[in-house]
Amino acid sequence: MLKDMTEKPSRTQKKKEAEALQEYGVKLVKLRDDQINSIALPEEILDAVRLAKTLEHGALRRQLQYIGTLMRKHNVASIKEILDNTELSNKKIARSIREIERWRDNLLSGSETVLKEITGRCPEADLPYVSELVLKARTEKEAGKPPRTARILFRYLKNLHSGQQPGNTEKL
């Protein structure tokens, strides 16, 4: 028999929707305070999220359930969109950091192909400066010193990767 489209959702469907909203609550709680403040949240959800950041274990679980309940009362389509975009943005940032780390590690291990990749993606790269940083970082590593120059190299590569004007003014 065909179901009437005006029927209420089943208990299972309601439970799935509640769990999905609770997951968005978990994502809200994991955000930094500045990110939370940039989202137009209803005041009661904002207060509940701030409280959840201070709780642990069972109390946190119950507070997350409460946040899910509050989210059912409000139109949260914009909140969902913002959280999904934030998650996507965080993944892009993590991916670019992994690529920069790969560049640095390959440079320190002596790979020449990564230099070609860097100059292909970032023609403004100062290769003599990069070479100087690589040599100094290798020397520090061999001497058992802290990786100060490797960090400078990472920052330089990060600026290159992000399209910022890379400054090679850091004191070596």
**Which of the listed ranges 14-18, 111-115, 147-151 does the model predict with the highest average pLDDT?**
147-151
Domain extents for the chain? Answer: 11-74, 93-162
Average pLDDT rounded to a whole number, residues 96-122 = 89
**Gyration radius of the chain over CA positions:** 24
pTM of the model: 0.60
Q: Provide the pLDDT confidence category of residue 166 given band limits of 50, 70 and 90.
A: low
Q: How many CB atoms lie within 10 A of CB 154?
A: 19
**How large is the angle between the packed helices 11-30 and 57-73, nearest 10 degrees?**
110
The arrangement of secondary structure in 93-162, i.e. its CATH architecture, is Orthogonal Bundle (1.10)
Q: What are the pLDDT digits (tens) for 35-91?
A: 888 888 889 999 999 999 999 989 999 999 899 888 888 877 878 888 888 888 888
Q: What are the pLDDT digits (tens) for 131-160?
A: 899 999 999 989 999 989 999 999 999 988
Give the phi and the psi of residue 67 in degrees, each rounded to 5.
-60, -40
Instruction: Check: CB of residue 75 under 8 Å from CB of residue 90.
Output: no
Distance CA 26, CA 154 (A): 32
- Residue with tokens 């946190």, as numbered in its chain: 60
Burial of 52 (0-12, 13-18, 19+ CB in 10 A): buried
Distance CA 131, CA 46 (A): 50
Give the phi and the psi of residue 125 in degrees, each rounded to 5.
-65, 135
Q: Provide the pLDDT confidence category of residue 170 given band limits of 50, 70 and 90.
A: low
Distance CA 50, CA 39 (A): 13
Give the phi and the psi of residue 110 in degrees, each rounded to 5.
100, 15
Report the candidate in 151, 158, 123 with the shortest Cα–Cα distance to residue 136: 151
